[in-house]
Structure 1
Amino acid sequence: MRKRHSIDKAEWSETRENHYHKDCKDMAFEFGDRLIEVDGTVYLKRKEVEIKVIKPLKRKTFWYETWLKIKEIYNA
Structure 2
Amino acid sequence: MNQTPDKARPTPRAGIMDIEAYVPGKSTAPAGVAKVHKLSSNENPLGPSPKAIEAAREVAARLDVYPDGTARRL
Kindly indicate which of the two structures has a greater share of residues assigned to strand: 1
Between the two structures, name the one with larger relative contact order (CA 8 Å, sep ≥ 6): 1
Kindly indicate which of the two structures has a greater share of residues assigned to helix: 1
Under TM normalisation by the shorter chain, which class is it? under 0.3
Larger Rg: 2
